[in-house]
Amino acid sequence: MSKLILPANYENPLSYLDSEIAIKIVKDQFEKRLADCLNLVRVSAPLYVSKKSGLNDDLNGIERPVSFEIKDLDEQVEIVHSLAKWKRAALNRYDLRGFEGLYTDMNAIRRDEELDNLHSVYVDQWDWEKVITRENRNLETLKATVLKIVKAIVQTQTILRYAYPQLKPMVSNNVFFITTQQLEDLYPDLTPKEREDAICRKHQTVFLMQIGDQLKSGQRHDGRAPDYDDWQLNGDLLVYYPLLDRSFELSSMGIRVDEKSLVSQCEKANASERLNYPFHKQILEGKLPLTIGGGIGQSRLCMLLLNKAHIGEVQVSMWSEEMRRECKENEINLL
């Protein structure tokens, strides 16, 4: 299968049972450290939202949500793609203010994912959101938050390796910050994905900023919905994963849109009709707090720290028979 990477001479570093124990260590330890370093409280979150609320995240704008009708409500609802918008509304409902925030377990179904080593139809994340002030809607706040999250990951990595010393460390505290335009200038002849691979091979742990707007070439590095991240104040946390010889995205995050960037980005995306949704009206009217937030892949983090070759080794999902056969032949044990 063209999208499946099969590492040569792959040896699974942990048994089935040890893998499950290690997954529990990662999830318990990282969740606690994330909450501590960002001053977050855990809350419950929805699996689905009303279609007419405008709260669902449309990711790159082409993914189809899984939807169904609730009989007693006579209303169409959608399985969430992420909780990017819901979290901001929740912060207002919980009346969290002054650099406080929330986090939650987000479970989603992304039916249009192209399945490979890193991508599954089932998505599990720690989704988090935190209140900031107008004065702190800046690059310094974004970078400082990234460094705190990376520190929590490295601490979790250290604890896991006490239990399983055979595991190799994959994340460094030294984060290299670069914008998508700087990356295009550096590697103009490469595709966006190839640029990510190249910069991660060079710097190991990278935060790639300013994703969503057009570059000087007229192309976008990657798609971003226009109505949650500010495209000038967002980014992806990437690391180089030698097992697959490629960049590995752990987190997408950013400072969220205010009233000006919301209008500007929706106009650029030809999505101005969204401004009529209740959530968007609250932003325009200044009724929602200014926030920073993101999602951190639970299975992605476990896969990386457990040195696994396939995300199906740390989560149960659906794969083609051909992929299952190829994985089994190459000692990749899908759950």
- CA–chain centroid gap for 16, Å, is 26
> Which residue of the set 252, 261, 299, 315 is catalytic?
252
Is 252 tagged catalytic?
Answer: yes
Q: Which amino acid is at 275?
A: L
> Which residue of the set 125, 232, 251, 317 is catalytic?
125
> Which residue of the set 33, 110, 137, 300 is catalytic?
110
Q: Both tokens of residue 58?
A: 């449309």
Is 236 tagged catalytic?
Answer: yes
> Which residue of the set 127, 213, 236, 258 is catalytic?
236
Is 127 tagged catalytic?
Answer: no
Is 325 tagged catalytic?
Answer: no
> Which residue of the set 63, 249, 259, 326 is catalytic?
249
Do 69 and 130 form a contact (C-beta atoms < 8 A)? no
Which is nearest to 130 in space by CA: 294, 297, 301?
294
> Which residue of the set 29, 31, 33, 57 is catalytic?
57
Residues in the chain: 335
Is 110 tagged catalytic?
Answer: yes
Q: Both tokens of residue 227?
A: 């109505």
Q: What is the Rg, in whole angstroms, of the alpha carbon atoms belonging to the chain?
A: 20
Q: Both tokens of residue 254?
A: 């950013």
Q: Which amino acid is at 63?
A: E
Q: Where are the alpha helices (DSSP H) in the chain?
A: 16-38, 84-93, 139-163, 180-186, 192-203, 259-268, 278-284, 298-305, 321-329
Classify 18 in phi/psi space as left (phi over 0), alpha (psi -120 to 50) or beta. alpha
How many Cα atoms within 13 Å fall on the side-chain side of residue 229? 27
As beta bridge partners, residue 294 has 128, 253
Which residues, other chains included, contact 302 with Cβ-Cβ below 8 Å and sequence gap of 6+?
22, 23, 26, 27, 308, 314, 315
Is 125 tagged catalytic?
Answer: yes
Q: Would you name the residues annotated as active-site residues?
A: 57, 110, 125, 236, 249, 252
